């Protein structure tokens, strides 16, 4: 036997021996999303849209159109600079030091395949692989989250394509399944299994606007693709539908869980609440998870109680809270929101109490993953930045510590 073959065999054996499975249901997921890195969102990194800052209406509204406007060579160069600097090994080390165990990494379908006419650029997979190595070095687990589908699955810029929902039309389901197959066949291999503990078939499909039967079939088929590739767990979004609606799809024993995202700022009814009404909503969240017969992880949530983060509702769009978004009323000013360095100690304490109430609720599930690890400063978005919230004493470190024991009573 050649020495190279012997070495490869020994390496595979060594990796397999070191594999430490993440036991969903026994081990709590406590993690953070790496938003705005391998899938762009203008509100997280508005500097990438800086050339249109003085005239937002002329700017592209999402990654698809950013690359379309810039052209592939310029877009490739700008995104490579961003990928090289936005997340590094140091971020993973800090995440671990803050008491977390998981990172969820959003990545679009276009990182793995480009469809005819796509203006997107590629190169993200090399950074995903690098991140898995960083996670291993830091002692963290990884969720791979396929965050965008062909045609756009929700109309949000986080799908890569804003204001369009073309997923499940034409050949798009098969195209997404082909991507899932590629991801599963690679990251279910033995050399990744100690780190990549779950693959999520698609982030936030807009269930109320999609054909339920097609969405259900796609989710089942996506699970099958991953299951045939190996033992990695499978995650799927609740798709903005009641958790109980998914109870007939797959048994919990199939190593599958539901990813529920829970925010309190994306409707006028929510931003119109008083602080204590927002707090009570956070406390009552634990009752929302009882309808599921599977493990549930709150895969996205934040510390925000307003939608004042600049461009949060989309590039060039205002906020519901101050009445600058569409036809919403005004409930206050955004000028003093989302900047942790300008908060009084009372304001920090209030936000800490709100965060702790959410944590206590989400700990009743199989775990939680905060959105997001960091945002660019000066954008009224500190209440979305885990790293900034920890630095200002608003997010508990470690996450089990409490300044307000049993805030919900």
- pLDDT of 381 > 90? The answer is yes
Which tokens go with 357? 């109430």
Look at residues 211, 216, 186 and name the one whose alpha carbon lies nearest to residue 199: 186
Check residue 322 and report its DSSP letter. Answer: B
**Amino acid 20: pLDDT:** 57
Whichever domain contains 265, its CATH number is 3.20.20.80
Q: Which pLDDT band, with edges at 50, 70 and 90, does 6 fall under?
A: very low
Q: Which pLDDT band, with edges at 50, 70 and 90, does 105 fall under?
A: very high
Q: Which pLDDT band, with edges at 50, 70 and 90, does 157 fall under?
A: very high
Does residue 398 lie in a domain region? no
Name the 3-class secondary structure at 29. Answer: strand
Q: Kindly report, residue by residue over 46-102, the tens digit of the pLDDT.
A: 999 999 999 999 999 999 999 999 999 999 999 999 999 999 999 999 999 999 999
Number of Cα atoms under 13 Å in the Cβ half of residue 57: 0
Does residue 373 lie in a domain region? yes
Q: Which pLDDT band, with edges at 50, 70 and 90, does 22 fall under?
A: confident
Please indicate whether residue 204 is annotated as part of the active site.
yes
Does residue 159 lie in a domain region? yes
**Amino acid 111: pLDDT:** 98
**Distance (Å, rounded) from C-alpha 348 to C-alpha 59?**
35
Does residue 5 lie in a domain region? no
Does residue 357 lie in a domain region? yes
Catalytic annotation, pick one of 41, 204, 270, 356: 204
Domain that holds residue 226: 26-391
Distances 171 to 119, 160, 168, 175, 343 between C-alpha atoms, Å: 19, 18, 7, 6, 50
Contacts of 36 (CB under 8 A, 6+ apart): 44, 45, 86, 372, 375
Tell me how many domains the chain contains.
1
Question: Cα 146 vs. chain centroid, distance in angstroms?
Answer: 10
Catalytic annotation, pick one of 63, 288, 300, 356: 300
Question: What average pLDDT does range 222-249 have in this prediction?
Answer: 96
**Amino acid 288: pLDDT:** 93
Name the 3-class secondary structure at 163. Answer: coil
253: how many CB neighbours lie within 10 A of its CB?
A: 7
Q: Which pLDDT band, with edges at 50, 70 and 90, does 25 fall under?
A: confident
**Amino acid 106: pLDDT:** 98
Does residue 247 lie in a domain region? yes
Which tokens go with 276? 């204590």
194: how many CB neighbours lie within 10 A of its CB?
A: 20
Which tokens go with 23? 């036991």
Which tokens go with 275? 């602080």
Q: Kindly report, residue by residue over 68-84, the tens digit of the pLDDT.
A: 999 999 999 999 999 99
Does residue 397 lie in a domain region? no
Does residue 371 lie in a domain region? yes
271: left (phi over 0), alpha (psi -120 to 50) or beta: alpha
């Amino acid at each position: 036997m050649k020495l190279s073959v012997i070495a490869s065999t020994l390496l595979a054996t060594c990796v397999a021996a070191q594999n430490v499975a993440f036991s969903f249901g026994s081990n709590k997921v406590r993690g953070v999303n790496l938003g705005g890195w391998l899938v762009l969102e203008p509100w997280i990194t508005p500097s990438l849209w800086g050339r249109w800052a003085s005239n937002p209406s002329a700017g592209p509204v999402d990654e698809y159109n950013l690359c379309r406007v810039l052209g592939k060579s310029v877009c490739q160069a700008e995104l490579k600079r961003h990928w090289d600097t936005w997340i590094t090994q140091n971020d993973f080390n800090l995440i671990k030091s803050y008491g977390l165990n998981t990172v969820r990494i959003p990545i679009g379908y276009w990182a793995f395949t480009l469809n005819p006419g796509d203006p997107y650029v590629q190169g993200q997979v090399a950074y995903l692989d690098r991140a898995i190595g960083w996670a291993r070095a830091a002692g963290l687990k990884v969720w791979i989250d396929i965050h965008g589908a062909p045609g756009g699955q929700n109309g949000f810029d986080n799908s890569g394509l804003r204001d369009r929902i073309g997923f499940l039309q034409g050949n798009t389901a098969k195209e997404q399944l082909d991507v899932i197959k590629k991801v599963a066949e690679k990251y279910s291999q033995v050399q990744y299994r100690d780190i990549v503990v779950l693959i999520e078939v698609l982030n936030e499909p807009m269930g109320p606007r999609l054909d339920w039967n097609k969405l259900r079939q796609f989710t089942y088929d996506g699970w099958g693709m991953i299951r045939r590739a190996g033992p990695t767990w499978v995650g799927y979004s609740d798709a903005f539908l009641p958790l109980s609606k998914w109870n007939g799809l797959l048994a919990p024993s199939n190593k599958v869980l539901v990813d529920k995202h829970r925010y309190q700022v994306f409707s006028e009814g929510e931003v119109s609440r008083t602080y204590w009404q927002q707090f009570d909503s956070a406390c009552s969240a634990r009752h929302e998870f009882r309808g599921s017969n599977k493990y549930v992880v709150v895969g996205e949530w934040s510390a925000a109680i307003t939608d004042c983060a600049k461009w949060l509702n989309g590039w060039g769009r205002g906020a519901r809270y101050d009445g600058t978004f569409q036809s919403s009323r005004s409930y206050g000013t955004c000028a003093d929101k989302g900047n942790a360095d300008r908060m009084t100690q009372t304001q920090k304490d209030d936000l800490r109490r709100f965060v702790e109430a959410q944590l206590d609720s989400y700990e009743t599930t199989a775990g939680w993953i905060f959105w997001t690890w960091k945002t660019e400063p000066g954008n009224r978005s500190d209440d979305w930045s885990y790293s900034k919230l920890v630095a200002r004493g608003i997010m508990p470190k470690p996450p089990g510590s409490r300044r307000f024991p049993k805030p919900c009573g």
